[in-house]
Amino acid sequence: MLTRYFSASFFLLSAALLTLGAAPAQAQADLLGDLENTTPPARREVVQATFKGTHIINSQTVEIEGPGTLNFLIQHRFGTIDQGPYELFGLDQAVLRLGFEYGLTDKVALGVGRYNIDKTFDGFVKYRALRQTSGGAGATPVSVTLFTSAAIMTRKFDGDNEENRTTASRLAYTYQALIARKFSPELSVQLMPTLVHRNYVMADAGKNDVYALGAGFRQKITKRIAFTGDYFYLLPGGKSAKMRNPLGLGVDIETGGHVFQLHLSNSRGMAEAVSLTQTTENFLTGGIYFGFAVARNFTVRSNLR
């Protein structure tokens, strides 16, 4: 009888202690749950400066000018370095493009330019569709900018050796989706599916439509210096046998008010419709053009509404 009494008392005491211990534990769990529910989620932030400029070498970037900002761009390329000392390794020859790019809104930019290959004028529109964000779930992993341009060559044709060309036949169009991600403060990478349509092509110059897949990068070396590069693979079917894949390697130097770019490329053209369809040099055998570019920004309207 006594043994049975102590056993029952011990069971009741144990149950009471477990109940009392569970209550604080349950209260603590409820308190932690309330704190988690009231803690604000991490704020999403837009990733800035995926690239430091609007151009890599032969390609555009996802960046556009800020609203009311005008960018004056000087692009210069010499002849190929395999021409030897008589041509001063290409420095006796030069191709120049002058361009203006203007930020219409925080999503739209317009640009015009002129370069002396076939006395070509070009104009473009860039639309910022997505911006990479960081922080919290659901952040946007990439930036996407849509790009379209039109180029027209205006040089006079020799009536005896070249057929007469209408205005429409002188036009070429480029369509690109620029998809970029800034992986770290030092490294940014961009992909560029591209279509170039030419209204007129010679018999041995390929098809009217040329498709390409491009890739570019920016690797920061120091606070003001970065290594850059871009490459376009021309898909089979549209290109001619003499067309080469454009490759460019360069260095960007930030100098306060502007970015100074030095680069090497097997492409002489500096607009998409030219560089993607008229590159014939082989980078690996010395068909390399040395060039530079300088970009300078001016604030035209400081308070756009």
Task: Choose among 119, 32, 82: nearest CA to 285.
Answer: 82
Nearest to 293 by CA among 108, 105, 126, 58: 58
Q: What is the pLDDT of residue 262?
A: 93
294: CB partners within 8 A, 6+ apart: 73, 74, 258, 259, 260, 261
Average model confidence (pLDDT) for the chain? Answer: 83
pLDDT above 70 as % of the chain: 81
pLDDT at 118: 84
Res. 267 pLDDT band, cuts 50 70 90: very high
User: pLDDT, tens digit, for every residue of 36-45?
Assistant: 455 555 677 8
Assigned superfamily of 45-299: monomeric porin ompg (2.40.160.40)
Q: State residue 34's pLDDT score.
A: 55
Report whether pLDDT(136) > 90.
Answer: no
Q: Where are the domains of the chain?
A: 10-39, 45-299
The band of 159, judged by pLDDT with boundaries at 50, 70 and 90, is: low
| Amino acid type, 58 | N
pTM beyond 0.95: the answer is no
User: Per residue in 166-204, pLDDT tens?
Assistant: 888 899 999 999 999 999 999 999 999 999 999 988 877
What mean pLDDT comes out for the span 2-10? 43
